[in-house]
Amino acid sequence: MKGLRLIEFRIDRRSGVATYLQLVHQVKQALRLGLLGPGDRLPTAREVVEQTAINPNTVLKAYRELEREGLVEPRPGLGTFVRRSLVTPGVAEDSPLRGDLLEWMERARGYGMGREDVEALFRSVLDQRF
Pick one of 65, 74, 86, 95: the residue that binds other proteins (CB under 8 A): 74
Closest of 90, 89, 91, 71 to residue 81, by C-alpha: 71
Closest of 85, 88, 87, 118 to residue 101, by C-alpha: 118
* Closest distance of CB 73 from other proteins, Å: 10
72-75: strand order across its sheet: 41-42, 79-82, 72-75
Residues paired with residue 79 on neighbouring β-strands, in sequence order: 75
Choices 24-32, 51-59, 92-100, 109-117; region in contact with other proteins by CB under 8 A: 51-59
Choices 27-35, 42-50, 100-108, 116-124; region in contact with other proteins by CB under 8 A: 42-50
Q: Which residues bind other proteins (CB under 8 A)?
A: 11, 13-14, 16, 18-20, 44-46, 49-50, 52-58, 60, 63-64, 74-80
